[in-house]
Amino acid sequence: MKVAVSEFKAKCTHFLRAVEEGKEKVEVTRRGKVIAVVSSSATGKPDPKLFLDCLHGDISFSPDWDEPLGDHDWDACR
């Protein structure tokens, strides 16, 4: 179901109950464009793969990330 953001804001708990019961997937729109989708996960638990996929390309490691820490680094980590 598509709902304007103003209506979603006014009736948020109603829409969330419908999603929770598995009846609906709500697409929130602004000026006719979908800006958010509210849906229930099939298992009731978040999918870690989806979370990790959203980080793809945003994380980088220094070349020496796996080198042992020196005494100064240990003190800084406390």
Q: Is the pLDDT assigned to residue 12 strictly greater than 90?
A: yes
The residues spanned by each domain of the chain are 2-60
pTM of the complete model: 0.51
Query: What tokens were used for 51?
Result: 């979370």
Supply the CATH classification number for the domain 2-60.
3.40.1620
Question: How much is the pLDDT for 63?
Answer: 82
Q: What is the pLDDT of residues 25-71, one digit of tens each?
A: 899 999 999 999 998 866 566 667 766 777 777 777 778 778 887 78
